[in-house]
């Protein structure tokens, strides 16, 4: 983390994270769950999204929203955990093999936008969890990262990732 901060200061890239709260609509997704570690997460994410795209394509469907990952467990240097890769799809697809088609419920989410490489996303999580705690909210589910652009189409510095955490709050205003 210290190395990241020093690099950010050197590059004048320290960016405050704004937090917003909004009602997230229900969404139907094709999802696959994986157990992964820090050493294998990149390959597991690539393989999981590949499986999902093949499933969606074989069904003659198209994604209808940005892909995202639900982090069911904390994954760090010492601990492996479960992630669920999701791609929004239209209703009508049927689960097959290890891919589940399901509708995620509406929920209130606190979120922030991370600009830049995935390995530098930790400050977004720290800011978001700090804000949730400071405002007296409880986290009601696992966090997710929503990938708003394609890493094969933009540079790492141009990547946009929405970090979102379900909370127990009524949406009254963006903060």
| Of 79 and 5, more confident | 79
Question: What strands, in cross-sheet order, belong to the sheet with 107-115?
Answer: 20-24, 107-115, 160-166, 144-147, 68-71, 81-88, 27-36, 100-104
**pLDDT (0 to 100) of residue 15:** 55
Mean pLDDT of the chain: 89
- At residue 4, does pLDDT exceed 60? no
Does the pLDDT of residue 119 top 50, yes or no? yes
Per-residue pLDDT, averaged over 102-125, amounts to 94
How would DSSP label each residue in 28-60?
EEEEEEEEE-TTTHHHHHHHHHHHHHHHHHHTT
pLDDT of residue 86: 98
pLDDT at 171 over 70: no
pLDDT at residue number 170: 63
Res 76: pLDDT: 86
Whole-angstrom distance, CA of residue 139 vs CA of residue 168: 7
pLDDT at 2 > cutoff 50: yes
For the segment 78-101, the average pLDDT, to the nearest whole number, is 94
**Are 134 and 110 in contact, with CB atoms under 8 Å apart?**
no
Give the global pTM.
0.86
pLDDT digits (tens, 9 = 90+) for 140-157: 999 999 999 988 899 999
The whole-number average pLDDT for the span 8-27 is: 74
User: Which tens digits make up the pLDDT trace of 27-50?
Assistant: 999 999 999 999 999 999 999 999
The pLDDT value recorded for residue 1 is 55
State the pLDDT confidence band at 3, using cuts at 50, 70 and 90. Answer: low
């Amino acid at each position: 983390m210290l190395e990241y901060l020093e690099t950010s200061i050197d590059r004048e890239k320290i960016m405050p994270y704004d937090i917003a709260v909004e009602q997230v609509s229900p969404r139907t997704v094709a999802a696959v769950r994986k157990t992964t570690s820090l050493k294998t997460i990149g390959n597991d994410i690539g393989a999981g999204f590949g499986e999902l795209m093949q499933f969606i394509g074989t069904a003659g469907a198209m994604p209808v929203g940005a892909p995202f990952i639900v982090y069911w467990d904390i994954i760090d240097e010492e601990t492996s955990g479960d992630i669920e890769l999701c791609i929004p799809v239209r209703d009508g697809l049927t689960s097959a093999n290890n891919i589940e088609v399901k509708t995620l419920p509406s929920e209130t989410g606190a979120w922030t936008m991370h600009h830049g490489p995935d390995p530098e996303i930790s400050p977004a999580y720290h800011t978001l969890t700090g804000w949730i705690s400071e405002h007296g909210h409880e986290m009601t589910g696992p966090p997710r990262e929503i990938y708003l652009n394609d890493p094969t189409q933009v540079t790492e510095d141009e990547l946009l990732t929405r970090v979102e955490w379900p909370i127990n709050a009524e949406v009254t205003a963006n903060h």
